[in-house]
Chain A
């Protein structure tokens, strides 16, 4: 069997592993749909002045802020859990594929494609539901930010899934997303993010997201670069950790 054929088989098996559980797909649709719609519907249109990147200030409402930001929070939650458990599935099953003759890189690629597809799906649903409830000033940066948030948190989830047991990884992901995006980065509680906010992974994509939501011009170049940097570093880390873990079959 050629490397391409093995990669194709590993990818088909990895997708089949996920599709055997239709509840996952249902929840990937239901959770963003419920949380985004409910949060926007329930929030009052109280005026709120916020700071965008590059020193731009706009006055909007709390309701609009939920419209702009809740998609990112939900995408990060779901992508992080996807990362944890796709990685756990890989640890459970892919070592056997390696023993059977597959190369670690082939199984790693298959799992990364599953993770990427799951993340793209939740981003698509979140974007659609956001669009039904909120009019962004500029959709391209907002959509890019949602995808970057999804990829960054999927990668962090995957690393947690590889290094921690499932309970600890789940706790850590839910707490990290809630703190980073739900409290530290959101302009609902701070006009601009605090001094140490830039140290957290959600800073760059959040700033791009709110810039796209409320400004027709693009002011978040450095924040976009920071987000791309996080994504690249985390993707490399996931590739290395997954390859090393799957390749470690315990053979002397």
Chain B
């Protein structure tokens, strides 16, 4: 299974990166996102009644950059590749191998984007707990891969899908921990990852509950993504 899925994964990655501008944006956006938003997110949090300090704000901007890019990518992976994936599946690769290759391609690009965001964050302001921050940023990407793929499984149109990713992103931005004094809607999928990233940015360790919460949501998101990719690749008799 692995020998068939690996070349397919490489092909799926190349499919998205063959446009040089897409590759450039995948490097440039997390870099500029961290650099530009880091300086204003602390003020934004204060305006919303939150307590986010500037070093933590820098950290959370890296998570959002990874989330936004990975979620959009996963949505387009499912929605625009459905026909091709069904043909690949029918041609003998099977839906599981197609889905595994798709998820591996999403994770490869998500990891690369997270690495750029992490590197920018480290160079800009330093990180108290680099390993914690790296895991949390990657979790943002993984969670949004699940959300983007889930939207792609149900929504075919590129416009409505990208608008839904935007809506989810807005929900997250306004309910992120420390960004708001309102506890009315205190849970979003990236909440534990955000808690962990904020703590790591400020040089503090996180309680086990945050690690567990983040792991559960990330594994759940990967399962959802796998199911979405499998559903998209499944041939209908």
Contact = CB atoms under 8 A, between A and B. Distances in A.
Contacts of B166: 31, 77, 81, 174
- For the residues of A in contact with B, the DSSP-based class is helix
User: At the interface, is chain B mostly helix, strand, loop or mixed?
Assistant: helix
B192 interface: no
A60 interface: no
Contacts of A35: 170, 174
A27 B76 CA distance: 18
Contacts of B164: 27
B36 A46 contact: no
Contacts of A195: none
Nearest to A89: B159
Interface in A82-122: 82, 84-86, 88
B139 interface: no
Given A27-B164, A85-B158, A167-B76, A42 B48 contact: yes
Interface residues of B, number: 40
B16 to A, nearest CB: 6
B47 A66 contact: yes
20 contacts: A21-B159, A24-B157, A28-B163, A34-B170, A42-B174, A43-B47, A44-B46, A66-B47, A82-B159, A84-B159, A88-B158, A165-B19, A167-B16, A167-B73, A168-B19, A170-B76, A171-B25, A172-B25, A174-B72, A183-B36
Contacts of B210: none
Contacts of B48: 42-44
Nearest to B166: A77
B32 interface: yes
Nearest to B16: A167
A170 B159 CA distance: 9
A38 interface: yes
A29 to B, nearest CB: 11
